[in-house]
Amino acid sequence: MPKILIVDDSGTIRKMVRSSLRQIADAEFVEAGNGLEAIEQIALGPVSLIILDLNMPDMHGVDVLKFLRRHKGWSDVPVVVLTTRGDDTSRETAIAAGATEYLTKPFAPQVLLEAARTLLADGAARPRV
């Protein structure tokens, strides 16, 4: 049963992401409104996939990524960065910080769903550390 963490300071966006991913069978969703909360969710139990906004109060998404990638145990959780068009952070910066996938808002639900499905399938195939 995949557990998906949705991180965005906008409640509307979190709802939209959740709705886009509702077709994923048995998925359990947890949410966080900023970077610190995201890391708390990760501390509370393993997650299968993270949908991560970048520009948030209390810890920027890039710092969340860097933190995860530096530490064994969380270093290979797939992360879809979902950021607003025109954000300062470029695709290259996000990928370098450890993003698995980089999508921009506004996003099409189908595109996000495809990305999530692919990453969850990859993750399932890979042995857990």
Partner 1 sequence: MTPDDTTPFSDFLDDYFAECDDHLMGVRRLLLTLEGSVGRPEINRTALDELFRHFHSLKGISGMVELRAAEDLAHSLEEYLRALRQGEAALSAEGVDALFEGAQMLEQVIGARRAGMPLPPIDAVVVRVGRVVAGGATDRASAHASRPPAVAKALKPQWRCTFSPSADLVARGVRVDTVRQRLSSAGEISNAMPRVTPEGAIAFEFEIAATLDEAILAAWRADGIVVEPIVEAAADTRANTELLAGGPEPALVFEGDAATGGGVAPSHFVRVDLTRLDDLMRNVGDLVISRARLTETLARVERRIPSTDWRAIQENAVAIDRQLRTLREGIMRVRLVPVGEIFRRMPFVVRDLARESGKRVHLELQGQGTEIDKFLIERMMDPVLHLVRNAVSHGIEPAEERIAAGKSPEGTIILSAATAGDIVRIDIADDGRGVDAAAVVERARAVGLPVPPGPVDTSHLLALLCAPGFSTRDESDRASGRGVGMAVVQAAVEELSGSLTLETAPGAGTRFTLELPVTLAITDALIAKVAGETFAVPQAAIREVMEVRVAELLQVERNEMTPYRGAALPIVRLGRLFGLPDSQRDRLHVFVIGTGASALGIAVDRIIGQREIVVRAIADELVKVEGISGATDLGDGNVVLILDPAVLARHMRERPDRVFAARGAAR
Question: Quick check: 80 and 74 in contact, CB under 8 A?
Answer: no
Minimum distance of partner 1 from residue 94's CB (angstroms): 16
Is residue 125 part of the contact set for partner 1 (CB under 8 A)?
A: no
Q: Which stretch binds partner 1 (CB under 8 A): 21-29, 82-90, 92-100, 115-123?
A: 82-90
Spatial CA neighbour of 35 closest among 13, 61, 70: 61
Q: Which stretch binds partner 1 (CB under 8 A): 23-31, 54-62, 94-102, 118-126?
A: 54-62
Distance CA 28, CA 48 (A): 10
Is residue 88 part of the contact set for partner 1 (CB under 8 A)?
A: yes
Minimum distance of partner 1 from residue 115's CB (angstroms): 16
* HSE-CB for 117 with a 13 A CA cutoff: 12
Exactly one of 24, 29, 67, 118 binds partner 1 (CB under 8 A); that residue is 67
* HSE-CB for 103 with a 13 A CA cutoff: 20
Overall size of the chain counted in residues: 129
Distance CA 61, CA 8 (A): 9
Binding site for partner 1 (CB under 8 A): 9-13, 15-16, 19, 33-34, 36-37, 39-40, 42-45, 55-59, 63, 67, 71, 73, 84-88, 105-109
